Structures are given as C-alpha cells and as structure tokens.
Amino acid sequence: MRPFFVCLSCRRIQACMPYLPMHQMKTNFHFTGEDVNLSVLKHRAYNLRWAMVPEGVIPLTAADPDFPCAPQIREAIMRFTDSGYFCYGPPEGYAFFRESVARFFSEKRKVNYSPGCIMAVDSAAAGIFMTCQAYLQSGDEAIVFDPIDFLFRHSIEAVGGKAIPFPVPMDPKGDLDFELLEKLAGPKTRMICVCNPLNPTGKVLNKNELKSLVEFATKHNLLILSDEIWSDIVFEPAVFTSIASLSEESFKRTITITGFSKSYGLAGLRAGAVLTPDEDSFSRIMTASGHQSTVHGCNSLGQVAATAALDECQEWLSAFLSHLSLMRNKAVSELNAMPGISCPAPDGCYLVFPDIRATGLSPAQLQENLLNQAKVAIVPGLPRWFGDKADGHIRICFATSDEILSEALHRMKNHLNTIL
C-alpha cells in the first residue's frame, strides 16, 4: 500500500486565527494533501465518508470535499459568534443573506430575483422537498431525469405524488430525447424537475436543451423545479446557464434551488436558498415550509457562512475548480485504463459515473469487493440511489487531494487486475 501524507497545520491555524486581517489571509490556495486533515475528517465526515468507513478505507462516496472551507468563511463565523447571541432569525432568512443571493444571481447568472422572493432554507434538499409539498397533491405526477439523485423521487413520493422517469444519456455529451419526453406528459403531470449540472453523470445542459425544456413546460403548463446546487462546478469548455435566465416565460414558471455545500464545503451548516419569481409563489412555498411556526428554518451560522462564500470567496472557488479539473482528468484517464471500466468525462460536478458492466460484476458486488479487498468505498449505481438507468455503473467523488485520489485509484486498478 502506497502512503499518502496528511498535515495537521490547519488545526493550529484555526486555533490562532481569530480576526485575522483580510490582507493576511491565505490567498494562494493549492488544495494539496497537506490541506486535508484526516484527523478531523475521521471524527466529523459522516454520510458514508471518513467517519463511517473502517480504518484504512478511502471513501470516494458522498459528494462532499475533503478540504476545509475558505478562511474568509471561518472569519465571518467567528465575527458573528463573538457577541455570544444566537437569537431567532427571520423565518424567511436574514436580509443580508437574501440580498447576497440576489446580487450573485444578478451578476453571475443573469437572473434578477427580488431579495423579497428569496427564502433561506436548511439545505437544497429541503428546498426541493418544500417546493414539491407546495405544488404537488396526491396523485400528481412530476417528471424526473433518470439517472438522478434520489432526493427528487423521495420528495415527490413523500407528498403523495408519482415520479415519472425521463431517461437521459449516460454520456454527459449526449443529447436529450425530446420526442420521448413528449410521450411522458399526461393530464396529471404538474412539474418537471431539472438538475443542472446533473448528479450523477455530470451532464451540463446546453442552451438549446434548456430552451426545449421551457417550450415543453410551457406547452403542458408545468412548473420547472431547477436544482442548481452544482452550477459552480463546471469544466471548460462547458458553460452553465440558469434556466430562469432564458426568457420571461422561463423565469415566471421556474423555482430555482441552490445551496453552498458543493462549492464551498458547508454541508454541515445546512444552508440553501429557494428563489421564486413572484410574491405569490414565495408565499406558497413559505406556507409549506413550516418556517413561520419555527418547526423548520435555516440556522444563522449557515446564512453567515453562505454570505461570506458568495461575497468573498470567488478566488478560493476558482482555485478549487482548477484543482478539480486536474482531478477529473486523472480519474477519467486512470479509470479508462482499468479492465472492464468505461468512464466518460463529466462536464460538471466533481463526480464520475463509470460503466462497469464489462467487469461482469453488479454495482453492489463491485462495491463490496472494493470495500473489503481494495479498501476503497464507492457508491453503487442502485435504483434506490439514482434510478433504474443507473444499473451497471458506480459513482466516484474526486473532490479530494491528488495524493488520496491517486492512492484510491491505484488500489482499484490493482484489485481489478487481480480478478479480471
């Protein structure tokens, strides 16, 4: 087994950096093995990651980076906590958070949302759920991509709806079949769910595809639920376009969901946003959310962190994306060199979704073999995670250091060379 290296210096930085002047903060971000603190991750990184796997196993599982968040985010949280007050916030979210999200979407996504029509939620997943709760009734149908993250189907079925799968290409560069999509619309169809970029395949929808989706939704009078949590993680030459930016028609029938865990490593702070086109849709989702009763709501620190991320961390994000591009190229190249594996390059997300059918193993079998024999954890392409079309595939997250990813791929290759 080849070693990889870990530096614990980030703990010392956290201990001594209160109110570090902005001009003294680290700005040359490299995302090396020295930036990954396994000592902390093994105690804090759950959801199939370091804290949940046996000692010695490398998890390439949940879509969560191994790197700490940007120093500007830590500084913002410390400034906010210094007073010692943690009061109830407004149910719709702090004004500074909503204004930051509106400003970001106006400048970066070319969509002009009113801050008053933006709601802070405790995750993008929560935003998806409450939108389904607001707009679907028992027996209603909603079209979802296949494969896609299970949260869409879960949210639709939890409110008594039915998820209608729309098969999409496994190759991120493949085209959507709009003739097939047309056949899926029926009298009970109320919504189409869009995940762009698409987890797990990494497809980034182009403008023509988005325009066709809007035309389809308009023809059948459907709400568009657009999950854009991955919109920052796009690799050149692909370009992300927010579907609500295309026209007045697309804007008025789209509910946009976003979050900050994928781009900035803030999953544990549980912060996301729901962006609505008007006061009526905002009120409808607010009623469904339970925020006004204090049963649910977005925590204060999550909003502080997300605001700092949007306002101060674009340089950090750019460096992170440059690192991810290198890791994507490494993962795709080395996976394609393994026996029985075929792996297209994703245009977005820090995930690959290789086809493993030529190994003769099912996704569950390969997952078990890699975990027990190669000491690498991956996510199998099972219907309960991604839909029926995911069969024959596995999902691998590459949001880690070169050292850790190289070691994991090395173990996988050795294992496959041994059994095939």
pLDDT in tens, 339-355: 999 999 999 999 999 99
For residues 152-156, average pLDDT: 97
Q: What is the mean pLDDT of the chain?
A: 93
Pairing of strands 254-259, 272-275: antiparallel
The pair of three-digit structure tokens given for residue 164, joined into one six-digit string: 């209608």
* CB of 233 closer than 8 Å to CB of 349: yes
Q: Is the pLDDT of residue 24 over 50?
A: no
For residues 27-45, average pLDDT: 91
The pair of three-digit structure tokens given for residue 27, joined into one six-digit string: 């700005």
Residue 243's pLDDT band (cuts 50, 70, 90):
very high
- Three-state secondary structure string covering the chain: CCCCCCCCHHHHHHHHCCCCCHHHCCCCCCCCHHHCCHHHHHHHCCCCCCCCCCCCCEECCCCCCCCCCCHHHHHHHHHHHCCCCCCCCCCCCCHHHHHHHHHHHHHHCCCCCCHHHEEEECCHHHHHHHHHHHHCCCCCEEEEEECCCCHHHHHHHHCCCEEEEEECCCCCCCCCCHHHHHHHCCCCEEEEEEECCCCCCCCCCCHHHHHHHHHHHHHCCCEEEEECCCCCCECCCCCCCCHHHCCHHHHHCEEEEEECHHHHCCHHHCCEEEECCCHHHHHHHHHHHCHHHCCCCCCHHHHHHHHHHHHHCHHHHHHHHHHHHHHHHHHHHHHHCCCCCECCCCCECCEECCECHHHCCCHHHHHHHHHHHHCEECEECCHHHHCHHHCCEEEEECCCCHHHHHHHHHHHHHHHHHHC
For residues 250-274, average pLDDT: 97
The pair of three-digit structure tokens given for residue 349, joined into one six-digit string: 């997300």
Pairing of strands 223-227, 189-195: parallel
pLDDT tens-digit map of 87-116: 999 999 999 999 999 999 999 999 999 999
Q: Is the pLDDT of residue 180 over 70?
A: yes
Q: State the maximum Cα–Cα separation within the chain, in Å, rounded to a whole number.
A: 61
Task: Tell me the whole-structure pTM to 2 decimals.
Answer: 0.92
Spatial separation of the C-alpha atoms in residues 417 and 419, rounded to whole Å: 6
Amino acid at 106: S
Residue 12's pLDDT band (cuts 50, 70, 90):
very low
- CA nearest to 131, candidates 277, 305, 4: 277
CA dihedral over 97, 102, 108, 109, signed as positive or negative: positive
Pairing of strands 118-121, 394-397: unpaired
Residue 30's pLDDT band (cuts 50, 70, 90):
confident
- CA nearest to 263, candidates 317, 222, 318: 317
Pairing of strands 141-146, 189-195: parallel
For residues 186-203, average pLDDT: 98
* CB of 145 closer than 8 Å to CB of 192: no
* CB of 166 closer than 8 Å to CB of 144: yes
The pair of three-digit structure tokens given for residue 203, joined into one six-digit string: 């497809």
For residues 58-71, average pLDDT: 97
Residue 73's pLDDT band (cuts 50, 70, 90):
very high
- Residue 196 is predicted with a pLDDT of 98
- CA nearest to 192, candidates 159, 165, 211, 154: 165
For residues 170-181, average pLDDT: 96
- Residue 294 is predicted with a pLDDT of 86
Count of CA atoms in the C-beta half-sphere (13 A) of 121 = 28
Percent of the chain residues past pLDDT 70, beyond the cut: 94
The pair of three-digit structure tokens given for residue 200, joined into one six-digit string: 């797990």
Q: Is the pLDDT of residue 1 over 80?
A: no
Domains and CATH numbers, the chain: 9-70+314-419 (3.90.1150.10), 95-312 (3.40.640.10)
Amino acid at 313: C
Residue 376's pLDDT band (cuts 50, 70, 90):
very high
Look up tokens 């991810």; give the residue. Answer: 324
Spatial separation of the C-alpha atoms in residues 205 and 208, rounded to whole Å: 8
Residue 27's pLDDT band (cuts 50, 70, 90):
low
The pair of three-digit structure tokens given for residue 335, joined into one six-digit string: 């996976």
For residues 221-232, average pLDDT: 98
Residue 405's pLDDT band (cuts 50, 70, 90):
very high
Spatial separation of the C-alpha atoms in residues 341 and 358, rounded to whole Å: 7
Q: Is the pLDDT of residue 3 over 80?
A: no
Residue 26's pLDDT band (cuts 50, 70, 90):
low
- Residue 28 is predicted with a pLDDT of 72
- Residue 4 is predicted with a pLDDT of 39
Percent of the chain residues past pLDDT 90, beyond the cut: 91
